[in-house]
Amino acid sequence: MSTEFRPLIEILRELRALALKKASGFLFIVTEENHSCIVRINSGLIEEVVFRMLRNDEAVTRLTMVNAAKARFQIDPGAALGKPSLLSDDSRQWLMGGFEQDLGGAPAPVAPAPTPAPAAPVASASVAPVSRGGNARPDDRVRDALEKVALNYLGPIAGMLCDEAWDASSDIEQVLSQLSTQLATPQEAQKFMDDARVALAEVR
């Protein structure tokens, strides 16, 4: 996943490019507010969108309000649900190009304009390992144990959210706290933290 937040329009162009390539898998998106979104693509067809506990058309509507985000695509040939897309035609058309007008982007001719922007992530990416090296890197067993618990609560996006949390802090309590904000209720968040502490105690 890129380390820099980019305008939503760039993320959606990336999604459109994946669809045009007939890709299959999941596009994981994290917004500046640390909300997560999962877009499932099957052979280029956008089949499902989940964002902030909302699904499909409602999720797409909420996504239009996002200013900036970062994204990572995970190839998964088995991503298909084996049933028709759950999105309306309007939502699919918006994701496949309608966003250009709504988000203030210009049609294709000006699309190259943001080209300098990708240079910034490359530059900062080279700095990232240095800053991360300053922190005590958590044991791989600790990371794996936490990710397994998170997977039960957060689904396929768990790995990405764990990486984000570890990048932000090497303190396990802060990592747990950040991950728990992704859960729907305080009760579920507390149960996740309890389960995670039990799993972590076993590998320490």
65, part of any domain: yes
Between 143 and 204, residue with greater pLDDT: 143
- Please check whether residues 96 and 178 belong to one and the same domain: no
114, part of any domain: yes
CA atoms within 13 A on the CB side of 139: 8
Is-above-0.75 flag for pTM? Answer: no
Among 120, 152, 181, give the residue marking a domain's end: 120
105, part of any domain: yes
- Please check whether residues 115 and 40 belong to one and the same domain: yes
- Please check whether residues 59 and 99 belong to one and the same domain: yes
Q: How far is CA 201 from CA 141, 145, 174, 189, 204, in A?
A: 11, 10, 16, 18, 5
Q: How many whole angstroms separate alpha carbon 182 and alpha carbon 204?
A: 25
Report the pLDDT value the prediction gives residue 110, as an integer from 0 to 100. Answer: 39
128, part of any domain: no
125, part of any domain: no
Q: Which two tokens stand for residue 58?
A: 């409602």
- Please check whether residues 37 and 83 belong to one and the same domain: yes
Stated as kind and residue range, the H or E segment containing 30 is strand 25-31
Among 67, 89, 120, give the residue marking a domain's end: 120
133, part of any domain: no
* Residue 9 banded pLDDT, cuts 50, 70, 90: very high
CB < 8 Å & 24+ apart, contacts of 154-160: 154/36, 154/179, 154/182, 154/183, 155/38, 156/26, 156/28, 156/38, 156/74, 157/26, 157/28, 157/36, 157/38, 160/1, 160/28, 160/30, 160/36, 160/72
57-71, 76-90, 95-109, 182-196: which is most confident: 57-71
- Please check whether residues 21 and 103 belong to one and the same domain: yes
- Please check whether residues 23 and 107 belong to one and the same domain: yes
Mean pLDDT check: name the lowest of 68-72, 78-82, 86-90: 78-82
- Please check whether residues 146 and 88 belong to one and the same domain: no
- Please check whether residues 115 and 148 belong to one and the same domain: no
Q: Is the pLDDT at 3 greater than 70, yes or no?
A: no
Q: How many whole angstroms separate alpha carbon 88 and alpha carbon 163?
A: 33
Q: Which two tokens stand for residue 34?
A: 């640390």
- Please check whether residues 88 and 184 belong to one and the same domain: no
Domain count, the chain: 2
Q: Which domain holds residue 153?
A: 140-203
- Please check whether residues 115 and 154 belong to one and the same domain: no
> For residue 182, how far is the Cα from the chain centroid?
12
Q: Edge-to-edge strand order for the sheet containing 25-31?
A: 6-7, 68-75, 25-31, 36-42, 45-51, 54-55
Q: How many whole angstroms separate alpha carbon 167 and alpha carbon 169?
A: 6
